[in-house]
Structure 1
């Protein structure tokens, strides 16, 4: 590329990119032997002189990867350069019972395209897959069938023998290979106690039908049947299959002291069900209480409701003698027996309100008070800036009775750096005052006082605050000093009320 350039005027180079087979264009350079570009296509030429720009090229390379395709020990990847033949790795992967035939470009190939150490001439990246040929396989055991039977081999669901049939075959790829032995074993659980039966066999393939068990296979037990075959090349294969217990619709224990459905009766004084149970009617425990499975009992509200003080149901919904306004779930927990005079504990959860858990217990003939679970959810119930004078009322976003423990009033210095109005003071003192929710319930609407401080330039000044407290609001009193007062320090402002 020859350039004609006017001094002091930048030149935008052509965006046209030249092409060269087998190479990638990197850009332009003033040297014909450069390996890195000084200018890009479409870039800016700023030199105040004419120039010839030479294309800078990078020869293309391609990755050749290897996949053992079910084997192991594939060679590491190689890099082929455009126009140059690549000698493939002579590393040969391995695979048990297979011969390596070479490499192909698909993983399903049965013939090889490239040999180990061969030549790869394509100018393209590729993954070469190992091509395998089966060299030998251990004896095959197939088409297995098993069933309970009597000693004569007649099928019997309650038989104490088992009839096993299957086919077998030995590999002939590497020459004549006859069967050496076949055994059939059965065991309850411990592999060391397998009882084996030898099966007379010969040849390279065949079928077996054998009765085992010697009338000793209990109908109440499940057995593992193990078939083992060995060929003349010492190849060994095995297969396992389960002989199930006999199927019982109903079984009665000897002596009539136990009954089972869907399984053998094994224990005395027990009604044992081996199937999933679907009860279409209510089910009651030995104390006469309905088994609820998480479904609460409900018969009404008020006087018609279930009384938690006297119920022996596990779970009820009621508004009677509960710690919340309205309905609540009440769960009862008993020890040893269920009755109205036994020691027990209860948990209550509001039915439709946001509230916490409550708990109580019945001990030595009397109930304790309901106690709210100690879950403290701290939240801002009011945010503002009040001196708490008589014309100021802080209305809470939630009632005090809904808090875990009560409320916390937070006061701060008045920010006098601006216009002197009530606002949060940066990097000044803070004071907190706690009011228990039980005290509000006991003394709703009563007058409260507290003291804070203002840090003057001379000494801390005492500030008095007076206010009335109800469940939903706090109203100020004229005793509270303001910014216009000249005594007791005039800088304290109520800024937050937290529910705690």
Structure 2
């Protein structure tokens, strides 16, 4: 005799009917040739509902079923902030058999079904603010928190608009960052900014416009350090300045420095310069060196002193005496003069 098996059922015995739910007595006397059919009874099982996320809220009780009989799954009672319920699956990762909510199913074993969650599309950003830079703007975006109706954003797209409403540039913010920089703007032109939120389920509508801002160039002040009047220039992003050449009588220009102590050289005259912000540059000067020679002016004897030098702006040059014992017939040496 074999051992019959039917998944999800218990063998009760035999019967002459194919659809009987009861078995014949253990002792049976047929009156003709006959076929006996196995009688199976569906086992009792449970369907367990798993919320499939530790952050999900709600509870659901298991549902008793009988193998082989159609049974309706319970209606989902779980919620997960920022996500929508998309059905049940016999595998937590969704790779098993999928069921819709409240679906009528026929099962043959204890079964756990796992809630499947799909992130909701994000909401429209709640606030957009901008600060002006040089040919650019830094834009901050505040997203809408995830709820039962909207999902969290994974990124934001910021678009700049000129006064005529034409898009003039954009940048992208990837979470968890909250700001980005829109470049390529025109200094002196007003711009507003709008943002949309995006995640794997979609993109929101555009936000309300930010307050208008106007990018402006950086002002560079040239402090001539007593070499004439101070001047200024405006640096517009992308267009380097050419450092000017100041003049000061008796001095040679050394270069422009970034601080008044004149220790950090920025560049000489004619150099290309792109500052990172508004700044004052200071001119550095080097006094011209003058050679001082002595003439006997008609002297008839002796020798003139050795030539000396003087650096303009430095220590005064000490004029020597008649160190070479100059003489001139009929005269007495008095002093030197230019």
**Normalized against structure 1, the TM-score is what?**
0.21
Task: Provide TM-score, normalisation by structure 2.
Answer: 0.29
